[in-house]
Amino acid sequence: MELLKARIREEGRLEGDVLKVDSFLNHQMDVELLDAMGAEFARRFAGSPVTKILTVEASGIGIAVAAARHFGNVPVIFAKKTRSKNLDGRLLAAKVHSFTKDTDYTVQVAARYLSPADSVLILDDFLARGQALLGLLDIVRQAGARAVGCGVAIEKGFQDGGRLVRAAGVRLESLAVIAAPEKGQIRFMDV
Amino acid sequence: MELLKARIREEGRLEGDVLKVDSFLNHQMDVELLDAMGAEFARRFAGSPVTKILTVEASGIGIAVAAARHFGNVPVIFAKKTRSKNLDGRLLAAKVHSFTKDTDYTVQVAARYLSPADSVLILDDFLARGQALLGLLDIVRQAGARAVGCGVAIEKGFQDGGRLVRAAGVRLESLAVIAAPEKGQIRFMDV
């Protein structure tokens, strides 16, 4: 998606392998860009009925809410990473390993919000090692629902998350795929 | 706001003093309702120019993103509650006491996203003891920016947060104010 790539070129900052996009995506958010990204996801997943959008707190929420308008205002569920008083009843949970922080955490969704009748689109801001997406996919599987696919704003094409998600037989749409930085330069690639 | 109150009556669940609205507001989100709430905030704050919307992760993000469209697509900033690789440079921080969990946490915003030129609207899902809003107001003050006011979906009128925020001289708009539950019944009040 050229609009997103242009923004990454203009405002993205590399720190080693980490791409910082906090000026428009995951701390401060450009809601017009989020809306355009939502429209692009809807274009790519046109023809695949979606009944719910699933994401994970916190950075995925803005993208998911903006995208939902383009999918007929389907409900958005955000999985929680910590115990919360807003989580009760039977829970669907999956353990997720964070390579960044070298810890495990659990993503959790109240079971009553996903059913076998649901066709679920999973959205998130970043895909690197793929562990969060695989955890969300496991939750969809536990619910007996169908995963329509995954959509991410930025895939790190030099890490193995994209391969793992695709190897699981899941359609993955990444709006921008970045290659391993060379000499501090952001480079895009195709997958 | 009648639409929100009706939804709280239909789907809200009381557990003691805790009102659960996770079916449409803070776990699963009804994006049409979020949009209507955003329009209502825009109506109430019409005439007060807003340059940025500030909220705190995670439950405030959906409301803030939906509302931003009605404020001319101003950027949304969500304060972080934990250290994050998306936070760098000089930080604005405020300590917040959580009465629910009886712990303190820190809300943080990268200083470069708020300036004295900004007129900031603070949005969140719930107002109970007011500590989160007061922390966000402190961050706006530290930035030298102007706080246009605070907007919340649900104010617990039987706790002192609303009084504290108003006593700080800040305009507060609550879309639904609930009174202390009696015999397990949800009741609304005016403030």
How do residues B128-140 score in pLDDT, each as one tens digit?
999 999 999 999 9
Query: CA A181 → CA A12, A177, A186, B62, distances in Å?
Result: 12, 12, 6, 33
Cβ–Cβ of A61/B66 closer than 8 Å? no
Which residue of B lies nearest to A19 if distances are taken between CA atoms? B86
Torsion of CA A122, A126, A130, A136, to 10 degrees: -30
How do residues A2-55 score in pLDDT, each as one tens digit?
999 999 999 999 998 899 999 999 999 999 999 999 999 999 999 999 999 999
User: For residue A15, what are its two tokens?
Assistant: 């720190």
User: For residue A45, what are its two tokens?
Assistant: 């997943």
As a whole number of angstroms, the distance between CA B163 and CA A131 comes to 44
**Looking at the DSSP assignment, which residues form a beta bridge with residue A20?**
A13
As a whole number of angstroms, the distance between CA A146 and CA A77 comes to 15
As a whole number of angstroms, the distance between CA A175 and CA B97 comes to 39
Which residue of A lies nearest to B32 if distances are taken between CA atoms? A73
Give the domain ranges of chain B. 2-178
CATH code of the region B2-178: 3.40.50.2020
As a whole number of angstroms, the distance between CA B153 and CA B37 comes to 8
As a whole number of angstroms, the distance between CA A108 and CA A125 comes to 18
Longest dimension (CA), chain A: 51
Per-residue pLDDT, A9: 97
**Looking at the DSSP assignment, which residues form a beta bridge with residue B140?**
none
Enumerate the residues of chain A whose CB falls inside 8 A of the CB of residue B125: none
Enumerate the residues of chain B whose CB falls inside 8 A of the CB of residue A125: none
Which residue of B lies nearest to A15 if distances are taken between CA atoms? B85
Per-residue pLDDT, A83: 81
The list of chain A residues with pLDDT below 70 reads: none
Angle at alpha carbon of residue B114, lines to B111 and B119, rounded to 5°? 160
Cβ–Cβ of A27/B77 closer than 8 Å? yes
Residue B86 has pLDDT above 90, yes or no: no
Query: CA A119 → CA A71, A74, A185, B117, distances in Å?
Result: 12, 11, 39, 45
Question: What's the whole-number mean pLDDT along residues B111-138?
Answer: 98
N- to C-terminal Cα separation, chain A: 13
User: For residue B37, what are its two tokens?
Assistant: 């709430």
- Enter the ipTM: 0.97
> Are A72 and A53 contacting, i.e. CB atoms less than 8 angstroms apart?
no
As a whole number of angstroms, the distance between CA A113 and CA A92 comes to 10
The minimum CA-CA distance between B74 and chain A, rounded to whole Å, is 7
